[in-house]
Amino acid sequence: MTRRPISSAELRSRESRYASRRRTTKKTKEEMKLPNPAELGIRLLENGITSADFLKIKMEEFNLDERDAFIVADMGDIVHKHLRWHEALPRVAPFYAVKCNDRRAVISTLACLGAGFDCASKNEINMVLNQGVPAERIIFANPCKQSSDIREAAVHGVHTMTFDCEDELVKVSQINPTARLVLRIAADDPSALFKFGNKFGASLEDSKHLLHMAKKLGLEIIGVSFHVGSGSKEPEAYVKAIYSSHDVFHLAKKLGFSMKLLDIGGGFPGCDNDGPKFEEFAARLKPALDLKFPRGSDDKRIMKYYLDDGLYGSFCTHLYDPEVVMKPISFKGSDEPMFESICMGPTGDEKDCIISTCSLPEQSSGDWLHFKDMGAYTVSTYTSFGGFTPSHCEDVIGQDDWQTLQTLPEDLRTLVPVDATGLSVPLSCCVQNS
């Protein structure tokens, strides 16, 4: 049985209808609140009781009831591992492979933490979406997908997906031509417990051919992915794969693709048993990523920020003296990566642009920027254009400066200098041209 391809217009229409029905999908991270633990079947342990303590308590209860074997899943361990990941690999956003454990409690906990999700089927995608996760935080990471799965994912707004062969490219071009594709390349750790190189991943030569084919089909390729295998024991396998990914990025750039995503797969140790710890893997990955994918070089994002003050407010003098260079100061750490940025004022006027180009760390809504030495007329030329009110001004003086003011000698308090005869000396004069 064959089905006709979905046009881009029809796809957008279906996606719009679905988005209006699924009210919880478009929530932001701030809005994502973990439901009451009891609603998810999570027992909230009292202060001081650990999961190990709870295990012993249940063992005693079950001995009395003569029940069967049981499992205790510690959601707190997920929270700690998520924080541990961000500490070790701050540049890499974690995407959880749902196939590992698809229990609602696990998905909801990770969703509240702001994690992304790696889904292999439409059922996994629906499972994640039903927990209120935005479609943008899902990657359909199955290089060989059923047509019906691609179709349903597209209707739900999941457009980021992997591929590694010609047939998949043709299939995607017919069903979802607006897909954001990620090319999976071959990578293997010979010491890994489960290897995927024989099943998934394109060679460098095949990758070149697939890039040309995608260009011919008018498809968008946004990045590269790899997976060295589950239960990896060799950090160097990741380093080698990162280098190979960089080669593919280079090929893609020559063809006009603008790749922005590198998916480093999984296979990291989940427990601190024998073998390298997760931090040891991260210690090898970080320099490789910084070398081959340095922040600020290939990442050409231009950040645009809308401030609650602008050229019709405290920055009004900038209209008449544009030569003055305004330098915003961020309160982020000095070691944060820098991005080319634009600072806009709050009004609807397109000319309400405070700074057309500057360098800033990435800012979030609610962050503060500091502008020093605003100068004369900052307060007096403020307008209410657009209904915006003047910025509140706090007049302050330091203790030492106040003390200096109080103890000024009398001769320094004289407003106008005087000559020896006691007559005022004019501060300006008019000279006639002879």
Q: Same domain for 87 and 170?
A: yes
* Total number of domains constituting the chain: 2
pLDDT of residue 243 exceeding 90: yes
Q: What is the pLDDT of residue 9?
A: 53
And the tokens for 352?
A: 């309400």
The domain boundary residue, chosen from 258, 292, 326: 292
Coil, strand or helix at 251: helix
**Side-chain half-sphere CA neighbours of 202 within 13 A:** 26
Q: What is the pLDDT of residue 226?
A: 95
The domain boundary residue, chosen from 266, 292, 318: 292
Q: Same domain for 273 and 330?
A: no
How many C-beta neighbours within 10 Å does residue 230 have?
17
- Percentage of the chain beyond pLDDT 70 is 82
The model's confidence at residue 249, banded by pLDDT at 50, 70 and 90, is very high
Average pLDDT over residues 40-45: 78
How many C-beta neighbours within 10 Å does residue 248 have?
24
Q: What is the pLDDT of residue 296?
A: 61
Q: Same domain for 307 and 288?
A: no
Q: Same domain for 153 and 265?
A: yes
Q: Same domain for 273 and 383?
A: no
Is 199 within the bounds of a domain? yes
Q: Same domain for 186 and 260?
A: yes
The model's confidence at residue 101, banded by pLDDT at 50, 70 and 90, is very high
Is 49 within the bounds of a domain? no
The answer to whether 118 touches 107, Cβ cutoff 8 Å, is no
pLDDT digits (tens, 9 = 90+) for 201-217: 999 999 999 999 999 99
For 103-107, which contacts have Cβ atoms below 8 Å and span 24 or more sequence positions?
A: 103/73, 104/40, 104/41, 104/131, 105/40, 105/41, 105/42, 105/73, 105/75, 106/73, 106/75, 106/78, 107/131, 107/133
Is 341 within the bounds of a domain? yes
User: Three-state secondary structure along 97-166?
Assistant: EHHHCCCHHHHHHHHHHCCEEEECCHHHHHHHHCCCCCHHHEEECCCCCCHHHHHHHHHCCCCEEEECCH
The model's confidence at residue 72, banded by pLDDT at 50, 70 and 90, is confident
Is 396 within the bounds of a domain? no
Q: Same domain for 242 and 277?
A: yes
pLDDT of residue 344 exceeding 60: yes
* Range of the structural domain that residue 349 is part of: 302-387
Which of 201, 284, 276, 262 lies closest to 232, judged by CA? 276
User: Domain with 306 in it: what CATH number?
Assistant: 2.40.37.10
Q: Same domain for 281 and 325?
A: no
pLDDT of residue 411 exceeding 80: no
Q: Same domain for 87 and 168?
A: yes
Highest mean pLDDT among 19-28, 87-96, 410-419: 87-96
More confident call, 140 vs 296 = 140
pLDDT of residue 404 exceeding 90: no
Q: What is the pLDDT of residue 412?
A: 64
Which of 27, 24, 29 lies closest to 365, judged by CA? 29
Compute the mean pLDDT over every residue in the chain, rounded to the nearest whole number: 81
Is 417 within the bounds of a domain? no
Q: Same domain for 84 and 20?
A: yes
- Percentage of the chain beyond pLDDT 90 is 37
Strands 369-371, 138-140: pairing kind: unpaired
The C-alpha atoms of residue 172 and residue 302 are separated, in whole angstroms, by: 30
pLDDT of residue 325 exceeding 80: no
Q: Same domain for 216 and 258?
A: yes
Q: Same domain for 360 and 277?
A: no
Q: What is the pLDDT of residue 268?
A: 87
Tokens 């990770």 identify what position?
110
pLDDT of residue 426 exceeding 50: no
Is 135 within the bounds of a domain? yes
